[in-house]
């Protein structure tokens, strides 16, 4: 633990909640960690919101029973524009494993609290819908993230017990079940629609079909291997998740990342945003029948993926990030490849956008389709592209700068319309901003490559045990959080992954209501959430 320094907010907390605010665990420029004396965080949460407009970003638990005799619930708040995340560690006694639920006031943590129930067997008291979410109903009564649950436990074949959906009743009202195997090439999940004719009355979601034990697996692997596991949390965000993980370790172990690595990471994070946004813009056009737009977007995305390969050896940017920096430096030829490809991509992208915007029938299908109203987006804690199209002005790159982002100027596009058209517009604006940012970073690369000074990775050294850190990355979907507690022998005691999709699925449920079912694919695509990132 770094030496605990003075933190004014902690003094205020001590004054207001003398019984609850127990100790200041650590403080750094981007995060402060505070221990509470009991599980009830509600008064502090209410105070932080009313005083500072705080946002509850994540809730997760940790089994410390064998070591400290308690479970911990960890609450992550941010108070924009303060770049410091506030982490609260609330003990939940092993003898009385219950904690007060915040889900009624904060729908954003509805699923996250239910995950705690499923993974650890702690009870979220007063939860409005305490059913299982992560473990399907046919699973036996197990809690896989408990320390005494073995990773390789072979559970008996699952039988019976099917999920009960809210009934679809009324004359002329029909139920349309879709999935988990979908018609397109997408990930598995189940959508249960209730429709009255064409309009959707409501949608019920069931996820976690691709749950593959990732958080438990992190606890069983040496840290260097965990980097590859992090890259496989969500394949289209391999570099963002990989970077988020490495940053968490670097912060926990106070590893200084060389500047050159920061710039390379920034470039690759932006390339990940660009290739995914281009694919989504094309897919949105395709879902309303503008196939030629998608064909050009596919061509353009391929250009970026080839660039990815030229820079990292992998079209999906895998195998490049490592704890301490990046695995390989770049040559001048690679810098030229980046610079020249960006010129072509920029020109072609502008043509693509002009082509899509010139299509009145495309605009007609996207305009005012799948509206997520700003007040609902705020209540649900929506982040990322879906949030920014509905007035939620959050971007980790600006609010909690990491890698080399503080060096570069970029605008964060925010709209209030909240429809598919504006979710596409946010992507269009972000690609343009990313291309500008990449141009500036390329100039930095020129100096860094020609100077040949400095490594691209910090020297490897043992990671000290029992260090905790939070790391945040603005993936192309939105806010990715990784939290780690290290263990002896270059291992992890706990690794929590929060993909932005976890926040944003409820937004889809809201946005489809009242829309015709034929528009569901385009509304879904306009959020384009990660199933694997949600399910882990």
Partner 1 sequence: MFKILQNTLRAGIVTVPYPDQPALISEQFRGRPEFDFERWQDARPAAEVCPTGAIQVQDRALAGQTGLSRQVTIDYGLCIYCGLCAEASPEAVRVTRDFELAAQDRDALFAIAEYGLTPDGTHAHLVSHSPWGAAGYHLTETIHKVLGRSLAIRQVDAGSCNGCELEIAALSTPVHDLERFGIHFVASPRHADMLLVTGPVTRNMELALRKTYAATPDPKVVVAVGACGISGGIFGKNYASLGGVDGVIPVDVYIPGCPPRPEALIHGILLAVGRLGG
Residues that bind partner 1 (CB under 8 A): 136, 139, 142, 144, 149-155, 158, 180-181, 183-188, 208-214, 216-217, 224-225, 227-229, 232-236, 238, 279, 292, 295-296, 298-299, 301-302, 305-306, 309-316, 318-319, 334, 351, 354-355, 358, 530-532, 535
What lies within 8 Å, CB to CB, of 144 at 6+ separation is 119, 135, 153, 213, 216
In angstroms, rounded to a whole number, what is the distance separating the alpha carbons of residues 97 and 91? Answer: 10
In angstroms, rounded to a whole number, what is the distance separating the alpha carbons of residues 47 and 43? Answer: 6
In angstroms, rounded to a whole number, what is the distance separating the alpha carbons of residues 2 and 252? Answer: 9
> Based on CB atoms, which residue is closest to partner 1, 7 or 149?
149
Residue with tokens 């005083």: 51
> Based on CB atoms, which residue is closest to partner 1, 422 or 477?
477
Q: Give yes or no for a contact between 173 and 196, defined as CB atoms under 8 angstroms apart.
A: yes
In angstroms, rounded to a whole number, what is the distance separating the alpha carbons of residues 106 and 55? Answer: 10
Minimal distance, residue 499 CB to partner 1, in Å:
11
> Based on CB atoms, which residue is closest to partner 1, 315 or 368?
315
Q: Give yes or no for a contact between 117 and 123, defined as CB atoms under 8 angstroms apart.
A: yes
Minimal distance, residue 412 CB to partner 1, in Å:
26
Q: Give yes or no for a contact between 430 and 273, defined as CB atoms under 8 angstroms apart.
A: yes
Q: Give yes or no for a contact between 510 and 408, defined as CB atoms under 8 angstroms apart.
A: no
Residue 443 tokens, joined: 């100039």
Pairing between β-strand 98-100 and β-strand 123-125 as defined by DSSP bridges: parallel
What lies within 8 Å, CB to CB, of 512 at 6+ separation is 200, 203, 370, 519, 520, 523, 524
Minimal distance, residue 513 CB to partner 1, in Å:
25
In angstroms, rounded to a whole number, what is the distance separating the alpha carbons of residues 300 and 320? Answer: 23
> Based on CB atoms, which residue is closest to partner 1, 149 or 202?
149
> Dmax over Cα atoms in the chain, in whole Å?
74
> Based on CB atoms, which residue is closest to partner 1, 94 or 186?
186
In angstroms, rounded to a whole number, what is the distance separating the alpha carbons of residues 210 and 180? Answer: 10
Minimal distance, residue 209 CB to partner 1, in Å:
5
> Based on CB atoms, which residue is closest to partner 1, 260 or 536?
536
> Based on CB atoms, which residue is closest to partner 1, 18 or 313?
313
Minimal distance, residue 457 CB to partner 1, in Å:
12
Tell me how far the alpha carbon of residue 490 is from its chain's centroid: 25
Minimal distance, residue 530 CB to partner 1, in Å:
6
Is the preceding peptide bond at 81 cis, omega within 30 degrees of 0?
yes
Minimal distance, residue 228 CB to partner 1, in Å:
4
**In a 3-state reduction of DSSP, which class is residue 452?**
coil
Minimal distance, residue 429 CB to partner 1, in Å:
21
Minimal distance, residue 271 CB to partner 1, in Å:
14
**In a 3-state reduction of DSSP, which class is residue 521?**
helix
In the DSSP assignment, the letter for residue 283 is H
> Based on CB atoms, which residue is closest to partner 1, 201 or 517?
517
Residue with tokens 């490897």: 460
**In a 3-state reduction of DSSP, which class is residue 423?**
helix
Minimal distance, residue 222 CB to partner 1, in Å:
9
> Based on CB atoms, which residue is closest to partner 1, 119 or 408?
119
> Based on CB atoms, which residue is closest to partner 1, 390 or 526?
526
């Amino acid at each position: 633990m770094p030496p605990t320094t003075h933190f004014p907010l902690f003094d205020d907390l001590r004054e207001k909640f003398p019984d609850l605010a127990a100790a200041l665990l650590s403080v750094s420029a981007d995060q402060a960690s505070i221990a509470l004396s009991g599980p009830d965080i509600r008064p502090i949460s209410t105070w932080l919101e009313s005083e500072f407009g705080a946002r509850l970003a994540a809730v997760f638990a940790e089994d410390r029973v064998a070591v400290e005799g308690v479970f911990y619930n960890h609450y992550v708040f941010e108070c924009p524009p303060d770049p410091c995340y506030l982490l609260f560690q609330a003990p939940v006694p092993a003898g009385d494993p219950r904690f007060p639920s915040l889900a009624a006031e904060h729908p954003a943590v509805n699923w996250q609290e239910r995950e705690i129930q499923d993974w650890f067997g702690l009870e979220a008291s007063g939860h409005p819908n305490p059913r299982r979410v992560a473990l399907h109903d046919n699973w036996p009564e197990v809690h896989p993230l408990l320390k005494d649950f073995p990773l390789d436990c072979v559970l008996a074949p699952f039988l019976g017990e099917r999920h009960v959906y809210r009934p679809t009743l009324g004359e002329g009202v029909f139920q349309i079940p879709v999935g988990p195997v979908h018609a397109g090439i997408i990930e598995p999940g189940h959508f249960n629609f209730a429709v009255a004719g064409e309009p959707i009355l409501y949608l019920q979601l069931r996820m976690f079909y691709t749950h593959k034990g990732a958080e438990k697996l992190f606890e069983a692997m040496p840290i260097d291997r965990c980097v590859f596991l992090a890259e496989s949390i969500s394949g289209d965000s391999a570099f963002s998740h990989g970077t988020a993980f490495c940053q968490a370790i670097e912060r926990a172990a106070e590893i200084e990342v060389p500047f050159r690595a920061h710039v390379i990471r920034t470039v690759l994070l932006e390339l990940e945003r660009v290739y995914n946004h281009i694919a989504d813009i094309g897919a949105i056009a395709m879902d309303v029948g503008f196939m030629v737009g998608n064909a050009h977007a596919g061509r353009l995305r391929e250009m970026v993926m080839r660039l990815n390969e030229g820079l990292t050896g992998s079209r999906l940017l895998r195998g490049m990030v490592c704890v301490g920096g990046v695995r390989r430096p770049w040559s001048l030829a690679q810098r030229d490849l980046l610079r020249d490809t960006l010129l072509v991509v920029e020109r072609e992208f502008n043509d693509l956008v002009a082509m899509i915007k010139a299509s009145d029938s495309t605009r007609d299908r996207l305009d005012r389709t799948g509206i997520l109203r700003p007040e609902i987006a705020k209540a649900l804690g929506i982040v990322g592209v879906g949030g920014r199209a509905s007035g939620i002005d959050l971007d980790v790159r600006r609010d909690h700068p990491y890698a080399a982002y503080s060096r570069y100027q970029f605008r964060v596009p925010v709209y209030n319309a909240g429809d598919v058209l504006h979710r596409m517009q946010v992507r269009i604006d972000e690609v343009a901003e990313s291309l500008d940012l990449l141009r500036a970073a390329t100039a930095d690369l020129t100096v860094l490559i020609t100077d040949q000074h400095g490594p691209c990775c910090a020297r490897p050294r043992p990671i000290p045990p029992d260090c905790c850190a939070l790391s945040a990355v603005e993936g192309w979907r939105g806010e990715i959080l990784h939290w780690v507690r290290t263990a002896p022998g270059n291992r992890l005691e706990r690794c929590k992954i929060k993909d932005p999709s976890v926040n944003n699925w409820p937004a889809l449920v809201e946005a489809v209501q009242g829309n015709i079912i034929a528009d569901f694919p385009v509304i879904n695509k306009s959020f384009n959430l990660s199933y694997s990132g949600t399910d882990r």
